[in-house]
Structure 1
Amino acid sequence: MFRLRSPRLTSRVAAFFGIIGLLAGLGLTTAAYSVARDSLVDQRVTTARSVAFDHALELRDAFARNTVAQTFQQLDIGSGGFAVLTQPSLTSLLQYPASAFPDSLRDTVTAGDSGQQLFELEGEKYIGIGIHIEASNSGYFEAFSLSATERTLAVLVTALLIGSALAALLAVFFGFSTSRGLLRPLTRVATTAGDIAGGSLDARLEPTDDPELSRLVVAFNNMADAVQSRIEREERFASEVSHELRSPLTAMTAAAELLASRRGELSERSQQALDLLIAQVRRFDAMVIDLLELSRLEAGAIDGHLEEVDVGKLASQIIARSSTPSTRLSLKSNAPIIAVTDRVRFERILSNLVENAHIHAGGATGVSISIQRIGDIVIAVDDAGRGVDEPDRVRIFERFTRGSAARAREGTGLGLALVAEHAAALGGWAYVDDSPSGGARFVVVLPKAEPTLIDHDMPTGVS
């Protein structure tokens, strides 16, 4: 099932800051809009009441002079507004009838009071002011348009929303910058830890002036020192033990050969014991030789010699000298595969893979050599075994590690570790996969162009 990748921590922190900034901006926008709207409407109502009362006073005086129609016609009605006088009827001068105003406002004026009310007419919002003119028992109504106020509020809302968006963007930038600054020490730790895991045991964190981070730096560097010291002690121990075992092993080998020369003088049971002794001595000798080689590889004591090599021809010679000379070799290239590599290391890699298949998996069923698109050489050895279980595929290239199908068989347990070390020294890597024929497929990828001989471990698997 496809699973979405979890967002990076910096992205989550930046998103959190952005959401907080956006919510805060929207909250401030809502509050500012509410306050501004109430203020503008109140101001508009106050102005409308003052103007309407002035007009009502003019009409009251006009009743006394009997010039109502002329005075009504000369009233300075604001843009978008309109006025109505109930007595006398001035139908020809009216834009809208009195019924355009809310019933409750007209009832208030009819009762002899004055009032105000917000209402809508034909989609437009108005402030309605109603005034009772007692001298003529008439009602004066004037509507003041709120279009200008609505436009002002719309501009204000737009400006506030843009400000909220900008605030959210600034919050995202601030959160991203802050999180990157906070995570930078962890990034340095991860990078340095990766260098150490890749073989650069001397990698350390640089000192810092921050007292809190200084504790982390000191603790990490102390841990790295302890790890390096332990690894170096183990490497020295393995090397020294291997060297020390050479002398007694040589004596054991000589004694076993002396006994083998007089095999005919021994009983059948003694001959069986002698055969077992000779086999174990040879296995022990091979193990010590492999340990010494691994120690020299890890110490960088093995010098490499790069030269142009016909990989197909060399592979054919290696297979012919192996325990299974009939193993089929397949070259997936129309032309000879020429690579700049170390002949000795290449032979050690391929011979170990073929011998590993012979000892642990019923023999190699085929060896194929091909070239990737990027130019790397891929060496694949298929065997007749039952394959390597998933949990063992990474550990199989560690020293003294065997797959579950090979634990009861012979061998030193160092052959595949040597394959990985030699491949890494040539700038390549090794991994194991399933073979199409049903067994395991051990694969080594080497650069076709001239590699750089290195002394550090490379990855022994692919993901």
Structure 2
Amino acid sequence: MATRRSLRLSTRVTLSFGIVALLAGVSLTVLTYLIARNSLIEQRSTAAQFQSFTNARDIQLAYPDATELSDVMRRLPVEADGFAALTEPRLQTRLGFGLEQFPVQLRTAVTDGRSAQQRFDLAGDPYLGVGVHIAAFDTAYFEAFPLSDTESTLRLVLTALLVGAGVTTLFATFYGWSSSRRLLRPLSRVADAAGDIASGALGARLEPAQDPDLDRLAGSFNEMADAVQTRIEREARFASDVSHELRSPITALTAAVEVLDARRDDLPERTQQALDVVVSQVRRFDDMVIDLLELARIDAGATEVHGEIVDLPDLCERVAHAFGARELPVEIHHRASRDAWLDKLRFERILGNLLENAENHGGGAIRIALEPGSRGTVLMVVEDGGPGVAASERQRIFERFARGSAARHRIGTGLGLALVAEHAHAVGGDAWVEDRPGGGARFVVQFPVEAPR
């Protein structure tokens, strides 16, 4: 089952700020809108009730005189889009807008002797209806107040609140993004320094920080890096010292064994067989010491890159001849560069080790090829027809003393491919292995065509 990838920490922090701001903004918007709505409607209701009772008092004063009552009804200060009506006598301030336009519940309540108010819609417009019972003359006064302006005001308030919540959310999200970047910057510095150390820059360290917590992190990391560097350097010195100390006795032992081998005809057959084992192991031991000394010089930075533009096909042929592969074809792709900037000695060491590796573990090399690489590089390829390299071992075999499954019981020092990788990296290239079409291994080394700037 595939593992679900989680969001980056900076993304989670930014989203948290944005979500919290959005929830807070929406909550405040709803709360503010409800408070503003209740306040505006209450103010509107209070004003409408006051005006209705004032108008009802004027009607009560003019009620005994029908003519004056009609004049008072016409002169009532009713709002432009509002209207009013009287039950007895049946009078109204606006033609076509009488008692029938008021809700039945409101009319029933006022007729029963109570004053009341109720919201209702008329022709799609909102109104507030107020009814006042005039007990002295057993009549009722009704007045309708338009709420369109109040609704428009509430819509403007809601729009402003929503825009404010959106802007606040955007600002909070931006603040969360900038804060996460600022807070995670020390972790990025730690990751960069760790990456430098992993790539070989053992002297990479973190600068002290002004913040006490970050300064503690930088100090702990630097102490760890110092310990790692000390241990690696100590192990490198140990390998170098051991290799140097073994060089003299191995040289003497090799000379002695060569003398015995030169007189092998004077020895019994069983002794000759034992001598063959000793000779092969001493030579293997001598090769291992030489390889260890070379790796020790590379680790100590004691080797320099003497780069120059060389003719690759010619150099490949000369190295192949030197390693006894005179019949090995060197194929050149039509798009591959024939010239490249590299160190001749390192190139000879790389190709020689690959040819020896193919001979020892792949049944011998069957092809050398020069192919175009990416971004101004050229690829040197050595193919064999052996069992190939398992996908799980393709990186590990370039480590020191690492062996693939096909080489565990065969000859070799276990350092040849490690030297190939080290020399390739020294000239700005890389080395890897892949499957060969048709079976076998395909070792590829990438070189820059031009000198690094």
The two structures share one fold, judged by TM-score above 0.5: yes
Q: Which residue of 2 aligns with 1:458?
A: none
Q: Which residue of structure 2 aligns with residue 282 of structure 1?
A: 283
Partner amino acid, structure 2, of 1:422: H
State the partner residue of 2:30: 30
Report what 2:352 is aligned to.
351
- What's the CA shift for 1:180? 2.0
Tell me if structure 2 keeps the 8 A contact 1:387–1:440.
yes
Report the counterpart of residue 53 of structure 1 in structure 2.
53
Match of 1:455 in 2: none
- Could you say what secondary structure the match of 1:385 adopts? coil
Question: Aligned in 2, Cα 1:335/1:396: closer, same or farther, shift over 3 Å?
Answer: closer
RMSD, aligned α-carbons: 2.0
Quick check: 1:323–1:358 contact (8 Å CA) kept in 2? no
**Which ranges in structure 2 are unaligned for 5 or more consecutive residues?**
none
- Could you list the per-position Cα deviations for residues 84-122 of structure 1 after superposition, in whole angstroms to 9, with x for gaps in the alignment? 222323479433232322211110111121101112222
3-state SS, counterpart of residue 301 of structure 1: coil
Contact 2:74 / 2:93 at 8 angstroms: preserved in 1? no
Pair 364,82 (structure 1): closer, same or farther in 2 beyond 3 Å: farther
1:297 aligns with 2:293: no
Match of 1:12 in 2: 12
Which residue in the other structure is 1:82 paired with?
83
TM-score, normalisation: structure 1: 0.92
Q: Does 1:248 align with 2:249?
A: yes
Partner of 1:179: 180
> Identity over the aligned pairs, expressed in percent?
52
With 130-139 and 252-261 compared, the bigger mean Cα shift is at: 130-139
Deviations along 1:30-57, one digit per CA (max 9) or x if unpaired, are 1111111111100000000011111222
Separation in structure 1 between the aligned mates of residue 270 and residue 427 of structure 2, nearest angstrom: 49
Supply the distance in 1 between the matched residues of 2:15 and 2:236 (Cα, whole angstroms).
Answer: 49
- Which runs of no fewer than 5 residues in structure 1 stay unpaired? 453-463
Quote the offset at 1:295 in angstroms.
Answer: 1.0
Q: Do the aligned residues in 1 keep the contact of 2:337 with 2:378 (CA within 8 Å)?
A: no
Q: How does 1:114-125 map to 2 (within 5 A)?
A: 114-125=115-126
Q: Distance between the aligned counterparts of 2:127 and 2:92, measured in 1?
A: 21
**8 Å Cα contact 2:328/2:368 also seen in 1:** yes
Separation of aligned partners in 2, 1:392 and 1:140: 98
Aligned counterpart, 2:201? 200
Aligned counterparts, 1:64-213, within 5 A:
64-67=64-67, 68-90=69-91, 93-213=94-214
Matched with 2:215 is 214
Q: 2:240 maps to which residue?
A: 239
Amino acid in the other structure paired with 1:79? A
Verify the 8 A CA contact 2:127 2:146 in the aligned structure 1.
yes
Q: CA deviation at 1:5?
A: 5.3
Q: Please tell me the residue identity of whatever aligns with 2:25.
A: G
The Cα offsets for residues 369-404 of structure 1, whole Å up to 9 and x where unpaired, read as 122242111222222233322332222111100112
State the TM-score, normalizing by the size of structure 2. Answer: 0.94
State the distance in 2 between where 1:178 and 1:259 align: 76
Secondary structure of 2:401 counterpart: coil
The question of whether the paired residues in 1 share the 8 Å contact of 2:84 and 2:92 is answered with no
8 A contact 1:428–1:445 mirrored in 2: yes
**DSSP 3-state at the match of 2:247:** helix
Q: Deviations over 1:104-152 (max 9, x none)?
A: 1110111121101112222222111011233443322111111111111
Counterpart amino acid of residue 388 in structure 2:
G
- One-letter amino acid of the structure 1 residue matched with residue 148 of structure 2: S
Query: Which residue does 1:437 correspond to in 2?
Result: 438
State whether residues 352 and 416 of structure 1, in contact with CA within 8 Å, keep that contact through their aligned partners in structure 2: yes
Of 137-146 and 394-403, deviating more is: 137-146
Other structure's SS at 1:203 match: coil
CA offset at residue 297 of structure 1?
Answer: 1.4
Q: Assess if the C-alpha contact under 8 Å between 1:118 and 1:126 holds in 2.
A: yes
Contact 1:361–1:406 (CA under 8 A) maintained in structure 2: no
Partner of 1:460: none
Q: Which moved more, 1:186-195 or 1:23-32?
A: 186-195
Asked if structure 1 preserves the Cα contact closer than 8 Å seen for 2:336 and 2:371, the reply is: no
CA contact (8 A) 2:361 2:406 kept: yes
Give the secondary-structure state (helix, strand or coil) at the position aligned to 1:349.
helix
